[in-house]
Amino acid sequence: MVDAGFAVASAYDAVMGFGPLRIVNRTVVGIAKDGTIVYYRHGMPATDEILAAF
């Protein structure tokens, strides 16, 4: 597993729990060059929507 312990997914509120089972909820995060989050959405947003945030 790349994100052992769900550390990164948890930081972006992308972990869903079902009793003892935990899975990553698809989440798109756009981060600008200066490190600010300019886009954040769970699910599968359209590419145009993501690009418009930048």
Percent of all residues in the chain with a pLDDT value above 70, rounded to a whole number: 98
Domain ranges of the chain: 4-53
pLDDT digits (tens, 9 = 90+) for 6-24: 999 999 999 999 989 999 9
Instruction: Evaluate if residue 1 carries a pLDDT over 80.
Output: no
What pTM, to 2 d.p., does this model score?
0.77
DSSP string across 1-53: --SGGGHHHHHTT-EEEETTEEEEPPEEEEE-TTS-EEEEEES---HHHHHHH
